[in-house]
Structure formats: structure tokens, C-alpha cells
Amino acid sequence: MFQIQRYEEESSQGNSSLANERLVKINDKFKRKRTTKEKASKKTQADLKKTVQPESHKGNAKNNEDITNTFEIDTIIKENELEDEGLNLNLIHQEQYEEGHIEDFKVLHAFPTFDKPKQTPQETAAVKLLGIPDWLANPTVIDPETTLPIDDSSLGLSDRLRNRCKTLGINECFAVQTAVIPLLIHNRRLSDVHMHPGDICVSAPTGSGKTLAYVLPIIEILSKRIITRLRALVVLPTRDLVAQVKETFIAFCKGTSLKIGVVTGQQSFIHEQEQIVFSSSELLMGGKSKIDILIATPGRLIEHLSMTPNFTLQHLRFLIIDEADRLLNQSYQDWLIHILRSTQQINSVESGKDTIGINLDSIGASFNNDDAISSSIMGALFNLPKMDASETKVSAVQKLLFSATLTRNPAKIASLRLVNPQYISVQSLNKEEGEIKYTLPTTLKEFMIVTSSSMKPLIVLHLLHNLHIKSALCFTKSVDSAHRLAKLIQLFENSNFKESIQENDNMIISTGSIIAAEYSSDLTKDERKNILNKFKRGDIRLLICSDLIARGMDLDRVDTVINYDNPIYMKKYVHRVGRTARAGRNGDAYSLVETQEVRYFKDMLRKAGHLDKVQNINIKATLLDPMKDAYQQALNAFKEYMNDSRPHAIKYQQNDSIPMETDENDIQNEDENILLLI
Ligand SMILES: Nc1ncnc2c1ncn2[C@@H]1O[C@H](COP(=O)(O)OP(=O)(O)OP(=O)(O)O)[C@@H](O)[C@H]1O
């Protein structure tokens, strides 16, 4: 016989008063923080004009002094007229706050809703013209500094999960978590097969804790299940991210019987099949899952949907699309259609392979007690007698989209077929900041250094040696570039540089050697894992990489990001620099901008309303002097290395920004404080 799975009805008792109490608390806290912030912001302009010393490098007094000498803020880029590229629809107006409107929270589930700014008629018309739906144009805005203690009852987390969080060092919820966790846990539509639970789109800065915002509520909800069915599917763009999210689920699932699987193509197809479904000679209409939660890359998931017997998405309750805008890119779009078809109600039954991945010719052939067809597709498969009270069952898959740079492209959003969506955006409420397209971590400091291509390797070395950077990611434009830069830096480190600088009293040189490694898709899975482990332990201080780890990767030791080659899209910039300054920690990002790129780079920042956040710094030429000899030696050795590996060299000479020879045009012009080497 068929079993129809239902979720335990959430007890609604006491929810509303708890929610009110919580809102009062949040509101008070929010007001306090805001007053402090406002005071602080008045100081900021004056402070910025002083010599800048990156916070994260604060050490002893001597170091501070020395590092201060290292930088001179040339100018703080200021643009009085920010280019108004889009619409300022997402911010709560300052006046509203001052007039006290924001205190008038209305209770919707158990998290605060803030008054939204009224659109002007012109804005409304413009939004309509662009085709941006109302829900997307009017997000629920959460201040990034909102937090809640993990024990706060309004979050709805059980004792077990709260204790687990504390054991793992999570004592309070970050802003995105305070908004999303209760919204999912207190959603009573989860137990209703007649109403869709409503989809959720979340935009929050890099490193702000989006992963736990879905991991915790899913574990909380699914841990009450009795029978193992595939109920949560997390789709991510890369294998590395799948592995990272799996580790998070495993860590927080401890103490539950929930089972987690991954499909990425890293293991053989058969091996993956054995992990996710029970082998069975018969096809079961309800599938036969070994796991409750599946984390997958899109391509491999589709293969399993069409080729793994008894693998079905019909019981799915949560479809999480993490790094959503990346996955919605053109080349990935097919997977989405497949998944949506596999989770939605089937209206017409065709013979042969149907949309739930089960051969319909087998209907009636055999069913056993393990088999349970989801109620929402039952009517589509069988001609059940209709009663007056019969209502159409809906597919109850709740889609949850997460990104630090959520798309506002109406066509892409439409392809998701969202139902009753809400948009939660973690972003500053400060109206004075103008339109904020991308919110970056407040603990991030951003710098740009204008230079020539031939100077870039030396500047990387200067940053590493003179700023005592412990752990840096350096992004290049290609795998080849990463390979060559890594090689050059290794050669430099092997030179007699350290001995020669001992004699120079004026230089600040870190004594620990910089062990640089390349991290790219050219490496095998095991090599990559090995390198990442060494980097996490601190054995490797500089990882030179292409964009393979620009998104989503959580390497918590990273104190600095260097854009060796700059991204041409702001989204990519946001994700790259977001590898540092995570979870409230400090971090610095340096972009090495070639002279001919300056205009484009500034334009990119300006259009994103971000230009004034990036400080333009010059590096005194004298600071590089002690490195010149060793660098020249490294260059000579590098030349030999390239000649020995001819195919690389040819590509290199054509494209790369690592100099093969000293460029005469690069000769130092001290007056202009532009530095040069050799
Ligand atoms: N409430 C919390 N308290 C302390 N640390 C937290 C909390 N939530 C998340 N973290 C930590 O913050 C780091 C960043 O979290 P996470 O990787 O989820 O960020 P993200 O928002 O997904 O970033 P990205 O957009 O770059 O993928 C992780 O190391 C995570 O363990």
C-alpha cells in the first residue's frame, strides 16, 4: 500500500508572543547600533584622509610605524556624482527611521519586517518597464549587524541543535540567519499539501553565513522525519563547494539519523548510485532513497535523474540553489528545467519514461511496503475517484536561492518559476550611501595600486614581505598565469634574497618564508585537497589561483586577497574579495590595476556605487629596492625555466603580464612616485 508522507504539524502555540518579544529586542538593539554607527560615520571622512594602515596588520608599535611608512594615501577616490545606473529601490529611507516608522514592525512569521521606502511613480514605472517583479524590487531589508543569541527561542531551534551550534562555536546567529531560520522553521505551510510554502530568495554579503542559514533549519525540520526520503537537494556550481557544504551538514547533523549524499562526478557513477539509492531489481514508483539530503553539481544530478533507477525527486521539500546567479548562467540552465519538471505535479501521464524518472509501464507491476508515492503526484499517476472534498495537491517544493550577488535579470528569475516568492536582502540601511548594488563585508578594506604589468610580480612580493601577510589568495586571469606567477615567486623565494636583506636596516622583511603554491583546475583532486590543507594549516602562505575558488569557498585563514589580474565584472570582484573579511573578521583586498585599465576599473566600481570604498595607494619606489637583485635573479631563472618548457613560453610571451625582460619604459620616475624596478 502507499504511504503518504506528511510533516508533523508545527505547534503554533506561543509563536506570536515570542515573535513580538523578539522584535522588541531586535528593535532596541538595532537602534543602539544605529546611533553608534551614525556617530562613527561622521568621523570617517576625516579619518580616511590620514595615512592608512590596514587594520588586520595591527601588530606591535614598531610594526605599525613601519607599515605606516609603507603606504601613502595618494588620494581617496571621490566622485561627487555617482553614476545612477539603476534604481534606488531597496533602501529604507533615513527619514522613515528618524520618524520612528521602522519601530512599527508588523509580525509576519517570526522575524522583523522593516518598512519599505515608497517608490515614486517614476520608479514604479521604470521597474515595470524593466520587467522586474514587485517582490524583487521591494526586498525585506535586514541590517548586516542584526544578531540573535543562538538560544533565542524565536529561532525555533531545538536544544540538540543549539548545543551542537555552541559546541562548534556558533553562539549567535548572523543577520541572514536571524531572517531565514525562523522563516523556514515556522512555515506551517510545510505540512499542507494544498498550499505552496512560498519560495525565498536571499541576497547577503560574502562570508555572512548563508550556508548555515539553510543548513540549520533543514536539519531541524528533517530530523523529525520517520522514513528516509530525499527531501532536501542542494545544488552548487563546483565540486569543491559541494564538499564544503557536505562537511557543514555532517558537522551539524551529528546526533540525528539524517543521511547525506553527494553526486559530483568525482566518484564513479555506480559508486554514487550505491550511495544514494538501495539497489533493487524492481522499479518502485516512490523510489527508494538511502539519503535525506543530497548535495550535487547540476550536470551529475541530471545524469542520475535519467539513469539511476529508484532515484526520484517526488518527495523533495527543499530545493536550495546556492550561488544562484552563477548557476543561472546560460550554460547551466538545462539542469534547472529537468529538476523543476521532476519536482512538479505531472498533469499528463505519458507512457515510457516520465518526468519523475520512473518507468510508467511498470505501474501495477509491483509495489511493496517501502514504496510511497508523494501525494502531490498521486492523482496524476492514477485515475483516482474524485470526491467533492478533493482538492488539487500541489508540489510542495520550496525553492531557496542564495547568493552574494543575486541576479535581478527578469528572464533568469522567470526561469525559476518561483511561487509566492519573498526576497530577503542583507544590506546597509544607510540611505546616504546611495544605491547599493552589492553589499560587501564591513570589515573589508579595499585598495587599488596603479602600476605597469611588469611591476606586478614585484608588488605582490612587496605586499607579502612588507605587510606580514600570513595567508593570501592571489587571483590571476588564467590557469597559465597562475602557474607562471607561482613559479616566479618560488624562484624568488629560493634566491639569496633573505640573506641580502639582512644587511639592510631600513627594510621591514618578514622572516618566515613565503611558500607560494598554484591552485587550479590543472591539478588533480588529491593535489588540490593537499594544497588546501597545507594552506589551512599555514604551511602555504600564498595561493595563486584562477577563479576556481573565487566563489563560496570558505578558507577562514585568508587575511588578504590580491587581484593580480582584475576581473572585468563587478560580481566577480565581489566574490573574489569576499574570500577575506569573512564572519566578521578583518581582511584587506589589493587590486593591481595596470595604467591602461584604470578607467575601466574605476567605471566598474562607480557603476556599482562602490568607487569611494576603494582607496588608491602608491608604493614608494625605495621600498622595492632591496628586492631588485633577487628579483632579477629570479627573472633570469624564470626565463630559463620557460625556455625549457616551450609550449608554456610561447603562450606566455603572447599574453602574460609577467615580464620576460626588464621594460625600459618602466624605469622609475621618482618625481611622480611611480615605482619601478630593475
Ligand atoms: N553565526 C555564526 N557565528 C560564527 N561563525 C559563523 C556563523 N555563521 C557562519 N559562520 C562562519 O562564517 C563563515 C562564512 O560563512 P559562509 O561560508 O556560510 O558564508 P557565505 O555567506 O555563504 O559566503 P559566500 O557568499 O562567500 O559563499 C564560515 O566559516 C562559517 O562557519
Spatial CA neighbour of 381 closest among 359, 400, 397: 359
* Nearest-angstrom CA–CA distance, 284 and 448: 59
Higher pLDDT, 523 or 364: 523
**What is the DSSP-derived secondary structure letter of residue 202?**
E
Highest mean pLDDT among 186-195, 335-344, 389-398, 559-568: 559-568
Which residue, by CA, sits nearest to atom 7 of ligand 1? 209
Mutate to test the pocket of ligand 1, among 146, 147, 165, 170 (most ligand atoms within 8 A of CB): 170
pLDDT, tens digit (0-9, with 9 covering 90-100), for 142-171: 999 999 999 999 999 999 999 999 999 999
Does 168 sit in the ligand 1 pocket, CB within 6 Å?
Answer: no
pLDDT, tens digit (0-9, with 9 covering 90-100), for 290-316: 999 999 999 999 999 989 988 989 889
The region of weakest confidence among 230-239, 261-270, 541-550, 643-652 is 643-652
3-state secondary structure 544-610: EECHHHCCCCCCCCCCEEEECCCCCCHHHHHHHHCCCCCCCCCEEEEEEEEHHHHHHHHHHHHHCCC
CA of 205 to the centre of ligand 1 (A): 10
Q: Per-residue confidence at 30, pLDDT binned at 50, 70, 90? A: very low
CA of 583 to the centre of ligand 1 (A): 6
Of all residues in the chain, the percent with pLDDT exceeding 90 is 38
**Which long-range CB contacts under 8 A does 326-332 form with residues at least 24 apart?**
326/237, 326/403, 326/551, 327/235, 327/236, 327/237, 327/298, 328/407, 328/409, 328/412, 328/415, 328/416, 332/237, 332/298
Highest mean pLDDT among 49-53, 260-264, 505-509, 518-522: 260-264
- Residue given cell 529538476 in the structure block: 339
pLDDT, tens digit (0-9, with 9 covering 90-100), for 463-492: 988 887 889 999 999 888 999 999 999 888
Residue 111 has pLDDT above 60, yes or no: no
Does 406 sit in the ligand 1 pocket, CB within 6 Å?
Answer: no
pLDDT at 522: 82
Task: Give the ligand 1 atom nearest the CA of 171.
Answer: 3
Which residue, by CA, sits nearest to atom 20 of ligand 1? 207
Question: Interface pTM (ipTM) of the complex?
Answer: 0.99
Which residue, by CA, sits nearest to atom 19 of ligand 1? 207
Mean pLDDT for 176-200 is: 83
Does 207 sit in the ligand 1 pocket, CB within 6 Å?
Answer: yes
Cell numbers found for residue 326: 552563477
Q: Per-residue confidence at 649, pLDDT binned at 50, 70, 90? A: very low
Task: Give the ligand 1 atom nearest the CA of 177.
Answer: 1
What is the number of residues in the chain? 678
CA of 206 to the centre of ligand 1 (A): 8
Residue 664 has pLDDT above 50, yes or no: no
CA of 459 to the centre of ligand 1 (A): 31
CA of 39 to the centre of ligand 1 (A): 28
Q: Per-residue confidence at 341, pLDDT binned at 50, 70, 90? A: confident
Strand locations in 346-397, DSSP E?
Answer: none
pLDDT at 388: 56
Does 580 sit in the ligand 1 pocket, CB within 6 Å?
Answer: no
Spatial CA neighbour of 437 closest among 30, 112, 84, 48: 84
* Nearest-angstrom CA–CA distance, 154 and 23: 9
Spell out the residues 6+ positions from residue 26 whose beta carbon is closer than 8 angstroms to its own: 112, 146, 148, 178
Spatial CA neighbour of 359 closest among 280, 261, 265: 280
pLDDT, tens digit (0-9, with 9 covering 90-100), for 503-540: 444 444 444 556 899 998 888 888 988 998 899 888 89
pLDDT at 235: 95
Residue 10 has pLDDT above 50, yes or no: no
pLDDT at 211: 97
Residue 675 has pLDDT above 80, yes or no: no
Q: Per-residue confidence at 456, pLDDT binned at 50, 70, 90? A: very high
* Nearest-angstrom CA–CA distance, 112 and 143: 11
8 A C-beta contact, residue 101 and residue 13: no
pLDDT, tens digit (0-9, with 9 covering 90-100), for 568-581: 899 999 999 999 99
pLDDT at 148: 96
CA of 180 to the centre of ligand 1 (A): 14
Mean pLDDT for 427-450 is: 79
Residue 364 has pLDDT above 50, yes or no: no
Which residue, by CA, sits nearest to atom 12 of ligand 1? 583
8 A C-beta contact, residue 548 and residue 579: no
CA of 539 to the centre of ligand 1 (A): 23
pLDDT at 393: 59
Mean pLDDT for 585-598 is: 96
pLDDT at 123: 60
H or E element that contains 445: strand 444-451
Mutate to test the pocket of ligand 1, among 172, 238, 554 (most ligand atoms within 8 A of CB): 554
pLDDT, tens digit (0-9, with 9 covering 90-100), for 602-647: 999 999 989 999 999 998 888 888 888 888 888 888 888 888 775 5
Average pLDDT score, the chain: 73
